[in-house]
Amino acid sequence: MHLTPTAAGVFPIAPTPFTADGSLDWASAERLFAWYDGLGADGTTVLGIMGEAPKLEPEESLRIVKVAVAGMPGKPVIVGVSAPGFAAMRRLARDAMEAGAAAVMIAPPPSLRTDDQITGYYGQATEAIGADIPFVIQDYPLTLSVIMTPAVIRRIVMDNPSCVMLKHEDWPGLEKISALRRFEADGSLRHISILTGNGGLFLDFEMERGADGAMTGYAFPEMLIDTVALQKAGRRDDAHDLFDAHLPLLRYEQQPGAGLAVRKYTLMRRGILASDAQRKPGAGLTPAAKAEVDYLLARLARKDARAAL
């Protein structure tokens, strides 16, 4: 099953579960993907920036892919394959697809600056992994420091038929979504799926601008699923009411440097992960921060019973 430009819905970005000593927690990984599947997620993404991919051995990375594919039968699994060199990218991309992945995701290296450098890089990456592998552009300038204009994204998409999706994480980025959909309307851009990131922080309006869903890692993916479904059903106020109830925790989880720790702690509180550990280097939450998350969960539970832990 290959990913297509019609992909839509919510693809949670999976954190990689570790035990306190830094080893992979495979039981938690199996539980995590089965949970995503049971919630009604439309797919999942592994080995992303929040998946601590650079900390994994190659064998661990491939096993994570296999566990995700087994845990979400019949649903697409996207695999982050960004790497400093094309040889490693190609190896992981080919191995992941053999293991049952539906597509790979490629982020630009931070060294790229000009439009020609960016479009050239994606052309070279496509050649390296093979044009038979569908790929996702990861547009995340806040972390990667690479600025992709709508016109650059259009060039990448039109130059590379195997590009099927944009992971949109520009901030602010609402106008970029609108610009890309205008290109599509005037015939200068073929249709691709647009799933949004940034922890879901702007999902309420991103759906209204033409996004097809979300690919992000908030600790309550069912809220993202419900928000997308409500927007698609035309229930705008209901979608915003649900989203607004989660916004304080969503915002807290978006803190640079602390976001993954918050997410893992909340997933541990929810019984999905056995531990909130990150593989070193990586720090957990202080007792004060944990108390703040607990307070936000208690407040959220007044509006959404799923937060009553």
**Per-residue model confidence (pLDDT) at position 49:** 82
The string over 26-53, giving b where at least 16 C-beta atoms fall within 10 Å of a residue's C-beta and e elsewhere, is eebbebbbebbbeeebbbbbbbbbbbbb
Among candidate residues 206, 199, 192, the one with its CA nearest the CA of residue 13: 199
**Per-residue model confidence (pLDDT) at position 30:** 98
CA diameter of the chain = 55
pTM above 0.75, yes or no: yes
Q: Do residues 4 and 262 make contact, with C-beta atoms less than 8 angstroms apart? A: no
**Per-residue model confidence (pLDDT) at position 54:** 92
**Per-residue model confidence (pLDDT) at position 13:** 97
Q: Do residues 102 and 76 make contact, with C-beta atoms less than 8 angstroms apart? A: yes
Q: Is the dihedral of CA 122, 138, 175, 40 positive or negative?
A: positive
Among candidate residues 217, 232, 198, the one with its CA nearest the CA of residue 266: 217
Among candidate residues 86, 87, 21, 99, the one with its CA nearest the CA of residue 59: 99
> How far is it, in rounded angstroms, from Cα 26 to Cα 7?
28
> How far is it, in rounded angstroms, from Cα 277 to Cα 5?
36
pLDDT one digit per residue (tens) for the chain, 309 residues = 899 999 999 999 999 999 999 999 999 999 999 999 999 999 999 998 888 999 999 999 999 999 999 999 999 999 999 999 999 999 999 999 999 999 999 999 999 999 999 999 999 999 999 999 999 999 999 999 999 999 999 999 999 999 999 999 998 899 999 999 999 999 999 999 999 999 999 999 999 999 999 999 999 999 999 999 999 999 999 999 999 999 999 999 999 889 999 999 999 999 999 999 999 998 889 999 999 999 999 999 999 999 999
